[in-house]
């Protein structure tokens, strides 16, 4: 049975939404699961950072090949394949009992996300009518944010359950519940992956991919499924005209030369700048670490998980508003507005953290004295321990709860512990020798480090920062600034970045160009996520937020003064926009 144009367009948007949902779950599910994973896994801060960054690293690898794969097997079947990868990753993660399996599952999940991040916006850009493209691509981002909400609801549920279990005072029961909670957080995403695979197989192939393969009649049939025959014929004629111009002698005798034309170079570079700046806002570090950030800002476990859920809901609701505005007010205005709001919110968050971090004390010497002859360390950081550490370095005993984070090294390899709080001493802080397992891992940890030396080197405490825990009022103020950050990102970069990626790239280089641009995007994101916790441990949250704000200034200037408006234009019209004045 042939669907009507309206029904088929709804099917396309639904499948795109499921793709966004999977992408959002990939990135966002770890936020609520991370505190429980940290308490039950025994992983170091670097290992936990890599668990977070593994999804982004998988995306980096995937986007390198996504364009070539999309050109080879088509957009439709690549979407289905990426969904199958996501489905396979869920049991690997949820059933894992060692670091290697967990990381592999997250890498597979990231590979799926990288493919989805390229192929779904690419498919929508090539299939939707110009007047619907902003709303359609916004659906991808909207459902992406819904993935965060779903993950947040699940973790809030587990947080309330944990509070009940914690009242028993049974440490073993608390540990078992936390272990159960983070695994179930991943299981809940499985049905969405199955639906995405099934929906992808019901769609027609991209008409522009079919046209590029010389299947003109199939391209017309694919266009006719989502628009009237007259509209399909008009769009097909535009493809013919662009194709004839590209093949004409005046376009240049050599294909390689033509790729250096302004219509290719300028939009490609602009898309790369926008996508890189998108990650330099810190979005893919703030989203997965937002629960941890709120805990350190002064909120309790339940409050931090509720705050994280509100953070996701703000993202979801403001993205819905952005979807309604993007085809009315345009991409340029929303990007400018959003990047300005991001700068304001990041500076405010940094200032709030700086008030507390200005009072942190390095208790390295007394902590070094606690290191055992086996070159390991274990301590339970409660109020008495915090007092003894501070008085040992000449500081007065604290009058309120404190947090502790230790930076340490074995030889040339440096690590950071998870943050522990004196008002939550259930989980002891432990350091065991956990140097890289092999030379490959050692190279990525420190290319100049000597693994053989590290395996026998003493445990050196580089720093041990005791920091006053902020009051709950400070925690909610930080939450408000993060909500402003999320709203600003959602109204502009969140929706518009996918449009910039798919709209700015000319047809001829779109798939491979999107892969390169998204590679820069995910590469930047991976590096930031991987170093986030160690950098916070060394320099504090305030420094990281100020750095993100400084990078976003470049984003604001690019959006305000360089980016052209593309609303309401066909892909062929946008390509002509970058051709420039004809040569005489």
| Rg (alpha carbons) of the chain, rounded to whole number | 25
Report the 3 state secondary structure along 367-428. HHHCCCCCCCEEECCCHHHHHHHHHHCCCCCCCCCEEEEEEEEECCEEEECCCEECCCCCCC
In our burial notation (b when 16+ CB lie closer than 10 A, e otherwise), range 328-356 reads eebbbbbbbbbbbbbbebbbbbbebbeeb
**Per-residue tokens: 223:** 């266009």
pLDDT of residue 180: 83
Q: Are 538 and 407 in contact (CB under 8 A)?
A: yes
pLDDT of residue 245: 66
H or E stretch at 459: strand 459-468
Q: Are 353 and 540 in contact (CB under 8 A)?
A: yes
Q: Which of 403, 417, 530, 520 is nearest to 54 (CA)?
A: 530
pLDDT of residue 584: 37
Give the number of other CB atoms < 10 A from CB of residue 45.
Answer: 21
Distances from the Cα of 240 to the Cα of 69, 247, 539, angstroms: 24, 10, 57
**Helical pair 283-297 and 5-41, crossing angle rounded to 10 deg:** 50
Domains defined for the chain, CATH in brackets: 5-203+255-355+474-577 (1.20.1250.20), 361-466 (no CATH)
In our burial notation (b when 16+ CB lie closer than 10 A, e otherwise), range 411-445 reads bbbbbbbbbbbbebbebebebeeebbeeeeebeeb
CA 270 distance to own-chain centroid = 21
Distances from the Cα of 357 to the Cα of 273, 381, 395, 522, angstroms: 33, 19, 16, 30
H or E stretch at 21: helix 5-41
The pTM of the full predicted model, rounded to 2 decimals, is: 0.67
Q: Nearest 5°: CA angle at 350, between 347 and 353?
A: 155
pLDDT of residue 254: 45
- Which residue shows structure tokens 């957009």? 75
- Rounded to whole angstroms, how far apart are CA atoms 71 and 63? 13
pLDDT of residue 289: 78
Q: Which of 382, 381, 378, 362 is nearest to 370 (CA)?
A: 378
Tens place of pLDDT for every residue, the chain, 584 residues? 567 878 888 888 888 788 877 777 766 667 667 778 877 877 776 677 778 777 767 877 787 788 788 888 888 999 999 999 999 998 998 898 888 888 899 889 889 888 887 788 788 878 877 666 666 666 777 777 777 777 777 777 887 888 888 888 788 888 888 888 888 878 877 888 888 899 888 888 888 888 888 888 898 888 888 888 888 888 888 778 767 766 665 544 444 444 456 666 777 788 778 878 888 898 878 877 788 788 888 888 788 888 888 988 898 899 888 878 877 887 888 999 999 999 999 999 999 999 988 888 999 999 999 999 999 998 888 888 999 999 999 998 888 888 888 888 898 888 778 778 887 766 678 888 877 767 766 765 666 788 889 889 999 998 899 988 888 899 999 999 999 999 999 998 887 776 766 677 666 666 666 667 767 776 776 677 667 767 787 788 899 999 999 999 998 998 888 877 766 666 666 666 666 544 43
- Rounded to whole angstroms, how far apart are CA atoms 455 and 446? 14
pLDDT of residue 560: 86
For residue 244, count CB atoms less than 10 angstroms from its CB and return exposed for 0-12, middle for 13-18, buried for 19 or more: exposed
CA 476 distance to own-chain centroid = 24
pLDDT of residue 401: 85
**Per-residue tokens: 487:** 């709203």
- Rounded to whole angstroms, how far apart are CA atoms 143 and 316? 8
- Rounded to whole angstroms, how far apart are CA atoms 51 and 342? 26
Q: Which of 514, 479, 500 is nearest to 555 (CA)?
A: 500
pLDDT of residue 345: 96
* Number of residues assigned to the chain: 584
- Rounded to whole angstroms, how far apart are CA atoms 8 and 123? 14
- Which residue shows structure tokens 């499924």? 225
Q: Which of 559, 564, 561 is nearest to 578 (CA)?
A: 564
Q: Which of 456, 407, 460 is nearest to 44 (CA)?
A: 407
pLDDT of residue 302: 81
Distances from the Cα of 72 to the Cα of 8, 122, 452, 561, angstroms: 25, 14, 45, 37
- Rounded to whole angstroms, how far apart are CA atoms 512 and 518? 10
Sign of CA dihedral 537, 538, 540, 545: negative
């Amino acid at each position: 049975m042939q669907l009507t144009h309206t029904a088929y367009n709804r099917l396309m948007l639904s499948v795109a939404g499921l793709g966004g949902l999977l992408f959002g779950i990939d990135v966002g599910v770890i936020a609520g699961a991370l505190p429980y994973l940290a308490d039950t896994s025994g992983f170091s801060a670097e290992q936990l950072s890599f668990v977070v960054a593994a999804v982004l690293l998988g995306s980096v690898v995937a986007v390198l090949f996504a364009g070539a794969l999309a050109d080879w097997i088509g957009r439709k079947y690549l979407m289905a394949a990426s969904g199958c990868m996501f489905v396979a990753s869920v049991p690997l993660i949820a059933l894992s009992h060692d670091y290697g399996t967990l990381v592999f599952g997250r890498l597979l999940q990231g590979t799926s996300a990288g493919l989805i991040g390229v192929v779904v916006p690419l498919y929508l850009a090539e299939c939707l009518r110009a007047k619907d493209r902003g709303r359609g691509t916004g659906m991808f981002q909207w459902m992406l944010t819904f993935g965060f909400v779903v993950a947040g609801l699940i973790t809030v549920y587990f947080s309330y359950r944990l509070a009940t279990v914690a009242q028993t005072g049974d440490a073993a029961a608390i540990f078992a519940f936390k272990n159960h909670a983070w695994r179930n957080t991943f299981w809940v995403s499985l049905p969405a992956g199955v639906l995405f695979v099934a929906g992808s197989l019901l769609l027609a192939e991209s008409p522009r991919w079919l046209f590029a393969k010389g299947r003109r009649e199939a391209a017309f049939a694919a266009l006719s499924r989502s628009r009237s025959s007259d509209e399909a014929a008009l769009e097909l004629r535009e493809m013919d005209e662009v194709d004839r111009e590209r093949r004409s002698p005046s376009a240049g005798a050599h294909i390689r030369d033509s790729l250096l034309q302004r219509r290719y170079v300028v939009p490609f570079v602009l898309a790369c700048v926008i996508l890189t700046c998108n990650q330099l806002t810190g979005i893919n570090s703030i989203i997965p670490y937002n629960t941890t950030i709120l805990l350190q800002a002064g909120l309790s476990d339940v409050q931090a998980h509720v705050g994280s859920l509100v953070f996701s809901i703000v993202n979801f609701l403001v993205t819905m508003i952005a979807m309604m505005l993007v085809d009315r007010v345009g991409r340029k205005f929303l990007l400018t507005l959003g990047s300005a709001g991001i700068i304001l919110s990041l500076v405010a968050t940094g200032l709030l953290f700086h008030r507390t971090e200005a009072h942190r004390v390095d208790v390295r010497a007394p902590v070094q004295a606690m290191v055992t002859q086996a070159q390991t360390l274990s301590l339970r950081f409660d109020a008495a321990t915090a007092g003894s550490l501070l008085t040992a370095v000449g500081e007065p005993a604290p009058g309120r709860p404190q947090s502790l984070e230790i930076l340490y090294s074995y030889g040339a390899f440096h690590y950071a512990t998870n943050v522990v709080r004196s008002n939550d001493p259930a989980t002891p802080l432990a350091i065991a020798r956990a140097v890289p397992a092999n030379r490959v891992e050692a190279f990525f940890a420190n290319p100049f480090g000597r693994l053989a030396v590290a395996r026998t080197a003493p445990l050196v405490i580089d720093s041990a920062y005791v920091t006053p825990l902020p009051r709950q009022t400070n925690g909610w103020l930080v939450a408000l600034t993060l909500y402003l950050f999320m709203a600003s990102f959602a109204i502009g970069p969140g929706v518009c970045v996918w449009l910039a990626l798919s709209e700015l790239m000319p047809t001829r280089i779109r798939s491979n160009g999107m892969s390169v641009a998204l590679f820069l995007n995910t590469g930047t994101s991976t590096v930031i996520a991987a170093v986030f916790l160690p950098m916070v441990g060394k320099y504090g949250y305030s420094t990281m937020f100020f750095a993100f704000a400084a990078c976003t200034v470049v984003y604001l200037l690019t959006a305000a003064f360089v980016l052209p408006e593309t609303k309401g234009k066909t892909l062929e019209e946008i390509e002509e926009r970058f051709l420039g004045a004809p040569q005489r």
